[in-house]
Chain A
Amino acid sequence: MTTLALRPVATGRKGHRRPLGVLIAAAVLALVVLAAALAPLIAPYAPDAIDLSASLAGTSADHLLGTDSSGQDLLSRVLHGARTSLIAPLLLLAVAAVLGVALGVLSAWHGGWIDALVSRITDVMYAFPGLLFTVLIIAVFGTGTTTSVLALGLAFTPTVARYTRSLALSEVRKPYVDAYRVQGMGGTRICALHLVPNLGRSVLGYLVVLFGEAVMSLATLSYLGFGAQPPSSDWGLMVQEGQSAVVQGALLPALVPGTAIALVVVSVNVAGVWAADRLGSQD
């Protein structure tokens, strides 16, 4: 063991930035977004074009990333799947942002019993570990992309609400709030026109950090069969469909979409933390 002196870890992230990693992550994300946008133009096949004669083919000039058990081209499916796999997490964050900011600002503005009630509700939701709250909602309302997005949006709400509340608590004490109140402006108007816009940057940075988890959670739901349903080429669903072929020795059908998910989540996390730092520091 070396005689290296241990010092407390620096709390700021500034000294630990790795611009190269961030650049690579941003490049990967840009490529994925481009692929999603141009999927119909650049995909060599239709995502649901079945060719049973080419079942479980390996990589070749015809199928760059091979095919699944129905002979569907994996490259085309992954390219098309980028759309649902990126847009659905954005929608769920939008749901969580609207509900979470509303509840957080409401709690901070009113305080008292409303604050206590909201915080008790979030406590109960936090008693469900991991995805279990979402799973309960899906058990009640049935499976599907819409239910998954709304259920996850609801499950992400307490996190956003707590964050917003902590920011808003110090914001409501600022002089401009009283100034507007003296001018006779109502609480709702002050919140909607001035308070929320002022919190916007920080909340946005927080949402960026949550995006990776949103992608991961939605992919997990699809994998479990709770989210996107066949014939969708959602990545999580593709992993589930490709899994049976793994035992037969055909790894590509599960590994190609699995790698796509991991790559996007890693890139989002690397670039997201950096972007959130930027958004936070310019306040």
Chain B
Amino acid sequence: MLARISRRLAGLLATLFAASFVIFAAVYAAPGDPAVFLAGGRDKLTPERLASVRAQYHLDEPLVVQYGRWLWDCVHLDLGRSFQYSDQVGDLVSARLPTTLQLVAYATVLFVVLGVGAGILAAVRRSTWVDSAVVGGTTLAASVPSFVAAIALVSLFGVQLGWFPVTGSGTGIAGTLHHLTLPALSLALGALAIISRVTRQAMADAAASDHVEAARASGVPERDIIRRHVLRNALGPIVTMCGLVMAGMLAGTVVVETAFGLSGIGSLLVGSINAHDFPVAQAVLLLMVTGYVVVTTAVDLVHPLLDPRVKEVRPA
């Protein structure tokens, strides 16, 4: 178990080093002088700016040293200055992070409740119209890009019916929930297909086992069979898939926050690219990739706790 954990953590660190190096070294792939690129292009270039960029990124030193210093600064939350917003990048990101995390959390609650619920429904009513409706409906939802879903939801529930606000992130708990409902729903819709399909398959696999047959033969009520024997044994793959989908949603916020005009790190990334503000883009990308890799690794480590049978299988 300990060997497994340390191997996974070593893999995590290796991936993070490689990914952060790609994000850092991307500056050198850009056409022209890296200092000019980091300062936001030639348009508003001043000698002071250029000097400040050279100092911040240690551009006179070898690449490996530059990367090491940049990573050291990042780990200490010193992410440089944004010239577009004339603010510390760290402050920009930390001011916007809560909105993004709230959005992801809300969307996660939605897709877990709706997706697992639909999957259970489809598994219990297998080969009926309910099953077909769940499979068809969720597949359809997964084929609609999240920004189109966002526009459709805004048109119907925001503009036509006026139930939900169209933009902004609201204040207070009730206000936040109210404002984030449509964004969270557009983010969650695409995940319903994969979650309900995994739930349905995992439950069908668990239901095929002998102990379920034995429980049914000894007259255990069907409701208890589903809950205690089938669902409990199907939990491993379901929780794993939910964790992976949640991790991927960090990237999905880029689109949904833009569609709803939410001020989170996803919309910050889009804004920074359109404004040629590369230090901000670098910081957000690093944060998102780190979050994604950490969460997927955590999911992998939690899996054996839910399903002790997995322990025996050595990861490839």
Q: How far is the CA of A255 from the CA of B255 in the complex (A)?
A: 17
Does A239 sit at the interface, judged by CB under 8 A?
A: yes
6 tightest A-B contacts by CB?
A130-B251, A6-B207, A258-B148, A129-B251, A266-B143, A127-B19
Decide if B126 touches A6 in the complex (CB within 8 Å): yes
Chain A residues whose C-beta falls within 8 Å of the C-beta of B151 in the assembled complex: 239, 243, 246, 254-255, 258
Does B124 sit at the interface, judged by CB under 8 A?
A: yes
Chain B residues whose C-beta falls within 8 Å of the C-beta of A120 in the assembled complex: 18
Does A141 sit at the interface, judged by CB under 8 A?
A: yes
Q: A128-B251, A136-B26, A249-B159 are in contact. List 17 more A-B contacts (CB 8 A).
A: A1-B124, A1-B226, A7-B126, A7-B204, A9-B204, A128-B292, A130-B252, A131-B254, A132-B285, A135-B285, A139-B273, A143-B273, A212-B143, A225-B270, A239-B148, A246-B151, A265-B143
Which one, A6, A131, A259, contacts B208 given CB within 8 A? A6
Which one, A8, A135, A251, A254, contacts B205 given CB within 8 A? A8
Q: With A135-B285, A224-B270 in contact, do A247 and B255 touch (Cβ < 8 Å)?
A: no
- Nearest B-chain residue to A138, judged by Cβ: B273
Chain B residues whose C-beta falls within 8 Å of the C-beta of A8 in the assembled complex: 204-205, 207-208
Task: Identify which of residues 38-81 in chain A touch chain B, using a CB-to-CB cut-off of 8 Å.
Answer: none
Decide if B278 touches A127 in the complex (CB within 8 Å): no
Does A106 sit at the interface, judged by CB under 8 A?
A: no
The digit string for B17-31, where 1 denotes a CB below 8 A from any CB of A, is: 011001100110111
Does A3 sit at the interface, judged by CB under 8 A?
A: yes
A residues apposed to B, CB below 8 Å: 1-9, 120, 123-124, 127-132, 135-141, 143, 212, 216, 219-220, 223-226, 236, 239, 243, 246-247, 249, 251, 254-255, 258-259, 261-262, 265-266, 269
- Nearest B-chain residue to A243, judged by Cβ: B151
Does B86 sit at the interface, judged by CB under 8 A?
A: no
Does B247 sit at the interface, judged by CB under 8 A?
A: yes
Decide if A127 touches B155 in the complex (CB within 8 Å): no
Decide if B31 touches A254 in the complex (CB within 8 Å): no
Q: How far is the CA of A123 from the CA of B252 in the complex (A)?
A: 20
Which one, A132, A225, A246, A269, contacts B139 given CB within 8 A? A269
Does B259 sit at the interface, judged by CB under 8 A?
A: yes
Q: With A127-B15, A129-B292, A136-B26 in contact, do A2 and B144 touch (Cβ < 8 Å)?
A: no
Decide if A127 touches B293 in the complex (CB within 8 Å): yes
Main secondary structure of the interface of B (DSSP, over half): helix
A5 to chain B, nearest CB (A): 8
Decide if B230 touches A6 in the complex (CB within 8 Å): yes
Decide if A6 touches B123 in the complex (CB within 8 Å): yes
Which one, B31, B124, B203, B205, contacts A141 given CB within 8 A? B31
What total of A-B pairs shows CB separation below 8 Å?
A: 162
- Nearest B-chain residue to A266, judged by Cβ: B143
Decide if B23 touches A136 in the complex (CB within 8 Å): yes
Selected A-B contacts with CB under 8 Å, 20 pairs: A6-B212, A7-B207, A123-B15, A124-B15, A127-B16, A127-B18, A127-B292, A129-B250, A129-B251, A130-B251, A136-B23, A136-B285, A140-B27, A143-B274, A212-B143, A223-B145, A226-B273, A249-B159, A258-B151, A259-B148
- Nearest A-chain residue to B290, judged by Cβ: A127
- Nearest B-chain residue to A258, judged by Cβ: B148
Decide if B155 touches A254 in the complex (CB within 8 Å): yes
Chain A residues whose C-beta falls within 8 Å of the C-beta of B155 in the assembled complex: 246, 251, 254-255
Does B281 sit at the interface, judged by CB under 8 A?
A: yes
A9 to chain B, nearest CB (A): 5
Does B269 sit at the interface, judged by CB under 8 A?
A: yes
A176 to chain B, nearest CB (A): 29
Does B288 sit at the interface, judged by CB under 8 A?
A: yes
Decide if B159 touches A265 in the complex (CB within 8 Å): no
Decide if A141 touches B30 in the complex (CB within 8 Å): yes
Which one, A4, A223, A226, contacts B125 given CB within 8 A? A4
Decide if A247 touches B166 in the complex (CB within 8 Å): yes
Q: How far is the CA of A123 from the CA of B289 in the complex (A)?
A: 13
Chain A residues whose C-beta falls within 8 Å of the C-beta of B216 in the assembled complex: 5
Q: How far is the CA of A223 from the CA of B124 in the complex (A)?
A: 40
